[in-house]
Amino acid sequence: MTPLIAGTLLALAALSFVLYPLLVTSGAPVDEATSEPIARDPARSEAIDALREIEFDRATGKLSDSDYDSLKSTYTQRAVDAMRAGDSVVCPRCGPRPEQVAMFCSRCGQRLAA
């Protein structure tokens, strides 16, 4: 009887060890520098997911080349627009800047406006 109880406890411990990451984590990406969840733009995520989906559909033969080309151009433009909209750092002298977390412009040193 004791080996059965010990085996059951070991099996439950192993199962909880394996399932713990699946049950506890939120699945959101985490910024390694700050250990905080990274906020994702829903429009960007939807456009990128749609691009992945049409790539898969083309690879499996569900989309014709003409449909693929029109859908790809549409969703690529949506993804680019969403990514550009996320670039909200602007230098008063140089215009939009690629530094998303900087306080000062890397070109002229001017304070950046959020």
- Each of the 114 residues of the chain gets a pLDDT tens digit; together they read 899 999 999 999 999 999 888 887 655 555 555 555 555 667 678 888 899 999 999 999 999 999 999 999 999 988 887 777 665 677 778 777 766 777 788 888 888 765
Q: What is the pTM of this model?
A: 0.46
- The sign one gets for the Cα dihedral 6, 12, 16, 17 is positive
Residue-level pLDDT at 35: 59
Can you tell me the distance from the alpha carbon of 66 to that of 100, in angstroms, rounded to the nearest whole number? 37
The C-alpha torsion from 97 through 100 and 102 to 106, rounded to 10°, is: -30
Give CA 78 to chain center in angstroms. 16
Backbone angles phi, psi at 57, to 5 degrees: -65, -35
Residue-level pLDDT at 5: 94
Residue-level pLDDT at 111: 80
Q: Identity (one letter) of the amino acid at 20? A: Y
Residue-level pLDDT at 11: 94
Beta carbons of 91 and 109 less than 8 angstroms apart: no
Selection from 6, 8, 78 nearest residue 42 by Cα? 78
